[in-house]
Structure 1
Amino acid sequence: MVDVELKVTVCRVKKCAYDFLSIDSDLMDDDEESWNLMGRDICLKSTFLYCDCNRMISQSPKDQKEALTVLANKLFCSIEELDHAVKIRNIALTQDRYNEAAIILQELMAIMP
């Protein structure tokens, strides 16, 4: 049963990761509504990612837990910086922080069970 739960959790992480990676197209819009929507979208996706990553790490084999934990921590620190960039509405900083978070997210997806 644990294998099924882990597979479902990994699928949800991947789905949320793909959704997060698709935000890239919205980064160049510089109007109030776009900034608000992007901020809410990042918050929502990071919440789902956090919950599912936590569950995935706890269900993963011991030899993978440390690497997954390190990357997940880096990812959520990066997402916090992205959230800050969105709040101050700085396009260049937002793009930079988004690119950083996207790279870490892809690294995490590459080592997921």
Structure 2
Amino acid sequence: MVDVELRGSAHRIKKCACDLLSIGGDLVDDDDSWDLMGNDLRLKSTFLYCDFNRMISSAPRDQKKPLTELANKLFCSIEELDHAVKSRSVPLTQDRYNEAAVILQEVMAQMP
């Protein structure tokens, strides 16, 4: 049963990372788009947090530190992206998105 839960968490992490990667081309400077992007970012980061927590808790001792470091790097990047979205600056958001995209690619590569 635990294996099924961990596979589900890994799948959701990949799915959320993929979804977040897809929002990069959607930068449109209108109020509704900014609100939608911010809401989507916060929702996906909540799922990511819960699933990373489950994965780290269940990981073997030697895998906990690398997973924790990856999660910390991802959430720091998402927080900076969220701040940029709240500022509604297209250049800043694009810059933070590009930084986050590199980490999201790394997350997708690390998940089984």
Calculate the TM-score normalised by the size of structure 2: 0.92
Instruction: Report the CA distance between 1:11 and its aligned residue.
Output: 0.8
Counterpart residue number, 2:6: 6
Counterpart residue number, 1:21: 21
Give the percent of matched residue pairs that are identical in Structure 1 and Structure 2. 72
Calculate the TM-score normalised by the size of structure 1: 0.92
- Alpha-carbon distance between aligned partners in 2 of 1:91 and 1:43, rounded to the nearest angstrom: 18
Counterpart residue number, 1:59: 58
Structure 2 contact 81–96 (Cα < 8 Å) conserved:
yes
Q: Which has the higher contact order (CA 8 A, sep 6+)?
A: 2
Question: Any gaps of 5 or more consecutive residues in structure 2?
Answer: none
Question: Any gaps of 5 or more consecutive residues in structure 1?
Answer: none
- Alpha-carbon distance between aligned partners in 2 of 1:14 and 1:67, rounded to the nearest angstrom: 17
Instruction: Report the CA distance between 1:44 and its aligned residue.
Output: 0.7
Structure 1 contact 13–53 (Cα < 8 Å) conserved:
yes
Instruction: Report the CA distance between 1:26 and its aligned residue.
Output: 1.2
Structure 1 contact 16–49 (Cα < 8 Å) conserved:
yes
Instruction: Report the CA distance between 1:109 and its aligned residue.
Output: 2.3
Structure 1's consecutive aligned runs of 4 or more residues displaced over 6 angstroms after TM superposition are none
- Alpha-carbon distance between aligned partners in 1 of 2:14 and 2:56, rounded to the nearest angstrom: 14
